[in-house]
Each structure stands twice: as C-alpha cells, then as structure tokens.
C-alpha cells in the first residue's frame, strides 16, 4: 500500500504540473473538462472511482481528470490558482480555507458522520476507566483528533475535566502498533484496523458509526466564483457523484464494487476487500447532502485552536442548491432504486 501511495503521488504531480501549462474548458471529445484533486488513497474516495469506472462522469458530458495532492494547504493553493476546479476534501480543510478568505463551497458530502472506533487496552472495560489515561491521535487539530474529542464527549467524558491526555502519535498503523505495545491506553481507529485489534482482545468502547454524531467529512468542494460561472458543470458532477453513491449501495452491484476496491487499494485477496466494502456501507453517505451541523461541530473544536475559524459561518461554505434540486426532482430516489442508472 505504501508503494501504491508513492506511485500515485508521483503520477499526480506529473498530471498537476501538466495542467498548469494548458487546461482548456472543453476536451477534444467536446465534453466539459474538470480536474478534481483528492488528498488520500482510502475507501472514502470510492464514490469518485466508481463514478469514473462506471462512466457516470462521461455520460453526464464531463471529461474528468483526477489529481492526487497529499496535503490540504497545497490543494487549496491549487484551487485558488485555478489549476484544479474542485477539491474532494473534508470540512476541516474547507473551514481553514474560508478562514483565510477563500470562497469555498461544499456542494455534496459523501461522508457526514464519524466512523471511527474508540479502542482501548484490554484492562479498560468502560468509558470511565479512561480518566487519567493517555489517548493517542494522529495529529492535534486533525480529523482523527476531532473524532476522539467528539467520541469522548459522546461517552460523557471531557479531556480537560477528566485528565485524559491527548497526544499526537502518527497514522492509523502507528496508532494500532502503539496500542498493541501498551505505549498508549486508547485511540480511535478505522475498520478493519480496529477489527483486528478487537480479535486480539482489545476493547471497543464505542463504534462512532452507530452514534450519529454530525460531522462533515469528505465531499465535493468548488469555489463560489467557479459555481457562478459554470453551474451546469457543477450540477453534472454532483449528479455523477449521486449515481456513484447509489451504485455502491445497490446490493446487486456488490461484486463490482469489491472489484474496484481490490484494484484501487491494492488488496491481494477479496476477503480484505469484502471487509472494506462492509465498512464503506457504514462510511459513505447514501444521499450526499452537505451537513451544516457537521461543520458546526468541526468549527466548535477548531475554533479553540484558530480564532479565525470561529468567525466563519458554516452556512456560508455550503451550497445546497444542486442536491436540493436533485432531491426535489426525484433524481436521487430514482438513482437509489436503480443502482445509479441514468434517469
């Protein structure tokens, strides 16, 4: 997987700098061209991959190019300069950008709830046992950190009041290794990493996917100025994304979705991909409406670290126009019934 990520990063840089030189609105095929950047190679990108592989973008009259840009600041710089038209990113990056004065608008969210598991050492049997313990996250201020804080709140705990020490430790693999080595007492992890630890006797204190804590994770973001100029292109992109979500959740498509997971995430066997598919059904939003309540949760936490974010109104970074149109017209419900087939 590490090699795959490195290869994707190298390819994406070549693509990005190629677009700097010439990036016409219409491709030679006559279809409208857009470039979407994404910042991670993980299951949250599955709706984009499905929309591309199943021809949803193409049938909507779009020539889509994907670019992997590893960090949110670089991605935001690219969207400001016009090197990309859209960012497939989370509410954290959008609020950070808005605090800097960038006119970002989320038009669809494929992830609107937390899906981490709070996992603890075997001797920690209940949430109250976390008082006075060390709780590791990927980075302070990041999405995993927010998942930890919101999860602890859900369990009735407060890190400051209950003397729970939140420390940065690294990515999911490092967090899992630290917990196994007893270097930390608890952490938040994605499936299937958390599932493997549970099999080894570690304790699930909470599965946040079952909590319905509002959150604004990965979604499709454009600049407001771009939406005003090319609203029809945005509309078509959202339509394709809705169709992809419908395809993923349509039971007869399970085998095809798993095949995409195998190809894109480099699984050596279908068993691991099948587990990821099950996790995706808990992670991806069936109807990708933006979540203002999710943004409010992010703002509340990030505002403690950056006062400028506290000044941003979540409503100003969301454009519900396109999802509302598709909902009222019956497009979304029909896509769900047909597995994403064009109306």
- 10 within a domain of the structure (yes/no): yes
pLDDT in tens, 232-245: 999 999 999 999 99
Cis peptide before 181 (omega within 30 of 0): no
Same domain, 18 and 150: no
- 85 within a domain of the structure (yes/no): yes
Same domain, 104 and 220: yes
Written in H, E and C, the secondary structure of 183-241 is: CCCEEEECCCHHHHHHHCCCEEEEEHHHCCCECCCCEEEEEHHHHHHCHHHHHHHHHHH
CATH of the domain at 277: 3.40.190.10
Residues 332, 242: Cα–Cα separation, whole Å: 7
Alpha-carbon radius of gyration of the chain: 20
- 195 within a domain of the structure (yes/no): yes
pTM summary value: 0.84
**Cβ of 172: how many Cβ atoms within 10 Å?**
17
Q: Which residues contact 303 (CB under 8 A, 6 or more apart)?
A: 309, 310
Question: Among residues 210, 227, 254, which one ends one of the domains?
Answer: 210
The residue among 77, 78, 88 whose CA lies nearest residue 41 is: 88
Same domain, 220 and 92: yes
Residues 289, 27: Cα–Cα separation, whole Å: 29
* Token reading at 150: 């919101």
pLDDT in tens, 186-230: 999 987 789 889 999 999 999 998 888 999 989 999 999 999 999
**Cβ of 39: how many Cβ atoms within 10 Å?**
20
Same domain, 100 and 243: yes
- DSSP class of residue 2 equals H
Q: What is the number of structural domains in the chain?
A: 2
Question: Among residues 210, 241, 275, which one ends one of the domains?
Answer: 210
Same domain, 240 and 292: yes
Same domain, 124 and 203: yes
pLDDT per position in the chain (343 positions), as tens? Answer: 444 444 444 444 444 545 444 455 655 567 899 999 998 888 889 999 999 999 999 999 999 999 999 888 899 999 999 999 999 999 999 999 999 999 999 999 999 888 899 999 999 999 999 999 999 998 888 888 999 999 999 999 999 999 999 999 988 889 999 999 999 999 999 877 898 899 999 999 999 988 889 999 899 999 999 999 999 999 999 999 999 999 999 999 999 999 999 999 888 888 889 988 998 998 889 999 999 999 999 999 999 889 999 999 999 999 999 999 999 999 999 999 999 987 6
Same domain, 234 and 203: no
Q: What residues make up the domain containing 198?
A: 117-210
């Amino acid at each position: 997987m590490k090699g795959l990520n490195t290869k994707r990063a190298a390819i994406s840089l070549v693509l990005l700098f190629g677009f700097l030189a010439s990036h016409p609105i219409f491709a030679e095929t006559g279809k409208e061209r857009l470039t979407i950047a994404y910042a991670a190679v993980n299951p949250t990108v599955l709706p984009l991959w499905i929309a591309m592989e199943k021809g949803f973008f193409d049938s909507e009259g779009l020539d889509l190019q994907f670019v992997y840009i590893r960090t949110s600041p670089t991605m935001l710089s690219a969207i400001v300069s016009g090197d990309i038209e859209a960012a497939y990113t989370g509410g954290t990056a959008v609020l950070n950008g808005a605090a800097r004065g960038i006119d970002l608008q989320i038009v669809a969210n494929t992830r609107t709830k937390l899906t981490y598991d709070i996992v603890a050492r075997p001797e920690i049997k209940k949430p109250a046992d976390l008082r006075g313990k060390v709780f590791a996250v990927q980075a302070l201020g990041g999405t995993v950190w927010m998942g930890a804080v919101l999860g602890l709140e859900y369990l009735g705990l407060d890190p400051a009041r209950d003397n729970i020490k939140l420390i940065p430790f690294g990515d999911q693999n490092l967090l899992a290794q630290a917990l196994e080595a007893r270097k930390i007492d608890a952490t938040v992890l994605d499936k299937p990493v958390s599932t493997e630890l549970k099999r080894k006797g570690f304790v699930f204190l909470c599965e946040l996917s079952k909590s319905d804590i509002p959150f604004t994770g990965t979604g499709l973001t454009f600049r407001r100025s771009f939406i005003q100029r090319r609203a029809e292109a945005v509309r078509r992109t959202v339509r394709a994304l809705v169709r992809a979500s419908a395809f993923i959740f349509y039971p007869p498509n399970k085998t095809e979705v798993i095949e995409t997971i195998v190809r894109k995430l480099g699984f050596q066997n279908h068993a691991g991909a099948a587990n990821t598919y099950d996790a995706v059904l808990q992670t991806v939003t069936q109807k990708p409406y933006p979540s203002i309540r999710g943004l409010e949760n992010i703002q509340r936490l990030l505002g403690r670290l950056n006062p400028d974010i506290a000044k941003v109104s979540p409503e100003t970074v969301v454009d519900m126009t396109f999802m509302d149109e598709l909902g009222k017209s019956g497009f979304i419900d029909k896509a769900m019934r047909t597995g994403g087939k064009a109306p």
